[in-house]
Amino acid sequence: MRPDDWHLTEDVHEFLSRAGDFLRSRPALHTMQLTVTEKHRANGTPAPNTTVTGTTANETPANGTPSHRPETPVFGRLEHDGEVHAGFYHRSPTGPLSLTSVTPGQADALAARLADLGHPVPGVSADHDASSAFAEAWQRRTGAEPVVTTRLHLYRLGTLTPPDPFPEGRGHVVGEQDREQVVRWCREFCVDVGEQYSIDLIDAGAWTESRFGDRNFTFWETPDGTPVSMAAATSIVGGMVRVDPVYTPPHVRGRGYAAAVTVEASRAALAAGAKEVVLFTDPGNPTSNALYQRLGYVRLTDFTVYEFSPSPSSSPSPSPS
């Protein structure tokens, strides 16, 4: 596999026209790439060579490689003989490379391509084998030291099985009047899991730019109408919905509310036509893993997130022309 088989673009529409069918072919495993690209498509992410907030985006050259600008999303696909084999999304310089499954050879070709372009990569997020393959390849190419920062289980819903007994109360589809509560709980969730990037966006009033801004939220309420738990879900993309996040305030945990609201969100996804419903869990939290398994979620694969050392030696330099 050659580095030139990896094609990069800042145009989400161009990317989806070539790689959309590939992403939709395995929607559960491609959940991150599907939801992120759909958000950019729906929000009208500008294509290259258009004016944005007073600056002009660099035009994509004839070789299909964008002249990258900081904080501009970059989409990549591995295409050989007209067939797409892998893809990624990356918003640099802050976020990790979000990569589909790749072989070690494909990961090495991608690392070579990005290093040759001088493209900054602070980390990578993918299924464990793909993430590790890229981390090793990036270290070989740049000297950057990979450090595991997050491990996740990816679950897919089998047969939805509500808990018995079911806690008293009811589900409540969140409306605009509930926005303040939603924002507050999403921030508390981010504090719990150490998601500083989202905290910064929320604190800056940039709710719509956060990963929660386009979610569909459900509360579980006690019989007197008090919200006690929250679950969010993405819109359907490629027949897939991801439930994320699920949050219950500490003082009301252990009462079955998280199970109840997860069931409500999962039911709503199925009723809306989703063929696959997925969610991520922390492997270090046996309580939540056991809960989702009781509800009918089946472990599909494991994800690993690496961060790369920010030392000067880890910064790639473009190959001399």
Give pTM, 2 decimals: 0.87
Q: How much is the average pLDDT of 224-242?
A: 98
| Residues 108-137 as b or e (16 or more Cβ within 10 Å = b) | bbbbbbbbbbebbbbbbbbbebbbbbbbbb
* Confidence tier at 68 by pLDDT (50, 70, 90): very low
Most confident of 67-76, 105-114, 304-313: 105-114
* Confidence tier at 140 by pLDDT (50, 70, 90): very high
For the domain spanning 159-295, the CATH number is 3.40.630.30
Tell me which DSSP letter residue 250 carries: G
* Confidence tier at 53 by pLDDT (50, 70, 90): very low
Residue 172 confidence (pLDDT) above 90: yes
Cβ neighbours of residue 321 under 8 Å, at least 6 residues apart? none
Task: State the pLDDT at residue 286.
Answer: 96
Q: How much is the average pLDDT of 159-174?
A: 96
- Within 85-145, where are the H helices? 104-117, 128-142
- Within the chain, where are the H helices? 12-25, 31-42, 104-117, 128-142, 179-193, 196-203, 257-271, 286-294
* Residue type for position 232: A
Is the torsion defined by CA of 177, 181, 187, 189 positive or negative?
negative
- Please tell me the distance from the alpha carbon of residue 286 to that of residue 239, in angstroms, as a whole number: 29
Over residues 236-257, the pLDDT tens digits come to: 999 999 999 999 999 999 999 9
Which two tokens mark 72? 């501009």
- In this structure, are residues 215 and 276 in contact, taking their beta carbons and an 8 Å threshold? no
Task: State the pLDDT at residue 312.
Answer: 54
- In this structure, are residues 19 and 87 in contact, taking their beta carbons and an 8 Å threshold? yes
* Confidence tier at 45 by pLDDT (50, 70, 90): low
Bridge partners (DSSP) listed for residue 229: 220
- Please tell me the distance from the alpha carbon of residue 74 to that of residue 130, in angstroms, as a whole number: 19
Helix axes 179-193, 196-203, angle to 10 degrees: 150
Over residues 19-29, the pLDDT tens digits come to: 999 999 999 99
